Amino acid sequence: MSERLQTLLEDAFPGARDVEVVDRTGGGDHFHVTVVSARFAGLSLLDQHRLVYDALAEPLADGTIHELRITTRGDA
């Protein structure tokens, strides 16, 4: 499941300096994702996280992701 999230994020943030997906519990439904991308430059944290939610809309909607932690950084 981590691989699916990794792929979705890499597709949504092409050229991102870092995309990391951690399965926090090993159960395949509690994740911490980290994205470092130039696309976040100038965006509020709210808008940065919205972009991540958009990228993961499908696994969020179908219940695959039970809990999601997000860390975003601009590629400064």
Partner 1 sequence: MSDLSNRIQETIDAEPVVAFIKGTHEQCMCGNSERALQALRSVGTSFTAVDVLPDPAIRQELSAVSSWPTIPQVFVRGQLIGGADIIEELAQNGELERTLEEKLGPDYRGAAPERVVTVT
Is 68 near partner 1 (CB under 8 A)?
yes
| H or E, element range at 60 | helix 57-61
Closer CB to partner 1, residue 36 or residue 70? 70
Site for partner 1 in 27-66 (CB under 8 A): 45-46, 49-50, 53, 57, 60
Closer CB to partner 1, residue 6 or residue 71? 71
Region of 8 on the Ramachandran plot (φ > 0 left; ψ -120 to 50 alpha; else beta): alpha
Q: Please work out the total of residues on this chain that contact partner 1, with binding judged by CB under 8 A.
A: 12
Token code pair at residue 8? 């979705």
CB 59 within 8 A of CB 8: yes
Site residues, partner 1 (CB under 8 A): 45-46, 49-50, 53, 57, 60, 67-71
